[in-house]
Amino acid sequence: MTKGGNPADGRASMAMKAGDIPTTRFGKTGIEVSVIAQGGARMDLHPDVQTAAAHVRVVYDLGVTYFDCARTYWDGRAEEAYGIGLEGIRQDVFLTTKTMKRTAKDAEQDMATSLRLLKTDYVDLWQVHSVQSRDDIDAILGPGGAIEAFEAAKKAGKCRFIGFTGHCDPEVHAALLKAYDGWDTVFMPVHAADHAYLSFEQTALPVAVERGVGVQAMKIFGKAFLLRSLNPTECLRYALSQPGVHVAVCGAGTRGQMEDNIRTTQNLRRMTPGEIADVRRRAIVGAGVHTGPTMEYWKKTT
């Protein structure tokens, strides 16, 4: 693939082999990362930390270089699994974590815990986790707010980049992107049913593109609801075909699931407008999938 562009821009088919995953320049961070990431939210699918850590190492051996985590995932055991699984190869990956804390003091304490469990002295990306409301924005950016800890951590070298995440309200995402110029990245839902209800693709993604931030896509399979009417390849192609999306975060729980995702990226081509329209239609009306809070329960109700 052509580096520095959208990961779905034209590329030749490639044979399946470890490490052979397309990369993309992650927005204004300027860092080259794999176009798919291992998500940490479903590390709890594994029976114990050691098994989860072994999965993390397998994913790395397959060529994935982007590892997503959070302080709250699996009550901290996800970070612990990453710390074990990435030991000795920390410098070779792009490692992220998040904090739910809204005050500088509490966020700073979370960072210390995250670094200890991840067995590192820095993360590549630290994110404010699950921003949901205007009150969250005020708390994060106000006096004594979490942003003070984020700026201090970046200055001290405890994180290279800062961002925020959320899946509740696209208007809040757009507002927070506009309210603070220091964001390097943003994490939001991008999937084939998003357009029908409180669309992040229509409201927040254009603001992210305008500001040049790195964009991570979540919920690409719609928490598996979309798999009633679409196949995983269609879901992943859709997310990586959206202008401005750099990385699709996949909660793969097995080697086979991640290998399937890798095969999709190796043969990825941008969806045509006709294909996008077809996938969106089937996402909404096919196989019992519904829009709004019935399916997208993670978004606010209106």
Radius of gyration over alpha carbons of the chain, in Å? 18
Distance CA 289, CA 295 (A): 7
pLDDT beyond 50 at 116: yes
pLDDT tens readout for residues 158-185: 999 999 999 999 999 999 999 999 999 9
Residue 30 located in a structural domain: no
Q: Is 216 helix (H, G, I), strand (E, B) or coil?
A: strand
Structure tokens at 54: 């072994």
Cβ-based neighbours of 104, under 8 Å, separated by 6 or more: 144, 145, 146, 147, 148, 149, 152
Residue 10 located in a structural domain: no
Q: Is 78 helix (H, G, I), strand (E, B) or coil?
A: helix
pLDDT tens readout for residues 141-151: 999 999 999 99
Burial string for 251-276 (b: 16+ CB within 10 Å, else e) reads bbbeeeebebbbbbbbebebbeeeeb
pLDDT at 11: 28
Residue 156 located in a structural domain: yes
CATH number of the domain that 229 lies in? 3.20.20.100
Amino acid at 297: Y
Please give the distance of CA 276 from its chain centroid, rounded to a whole number.
21
Residue 20 located in a structural domain: no
Q: What is the pTM of this model?
A: 0.91
Distance CA 92, CA 59 (A): 13
Residue 219 located in a structural domain: yes
Residue 284 located in a structural domain: yes
Whether the CB-CB separation of 215 and 245 falls below 8 Å is answered with: yes
HSE (CB half, 13 Å, CA atoms) of 19? 1
* Mean pLDDT (whole number) for 92-104: 99
pLDDT at 232: 95
CA angle 42/53/37 to nearest 5° reads 55
Cβ-based neighbours of 78, under 8 Å, separated by 6 or more: 40, 41, 43, 44, 52, 69, 70
| pLDDT above 90 as % of the chain | 84
Band the pLDDT of 69: cuts 50, 70, 90: very high
pLDDT tens readout for residues 248-292: 999 999 999 999 999 999 988 889 999 999 999 999 875 445 566
Q: Please state the domain count of the chain.
A: 1
Identify the CA nearest to 258 among candidates 67, 8, 27. Answer: 67
Residue 203 located in a structural domain: yes
Range of the domain at 158: 35-294
Residue 22 located in a structural domain: no
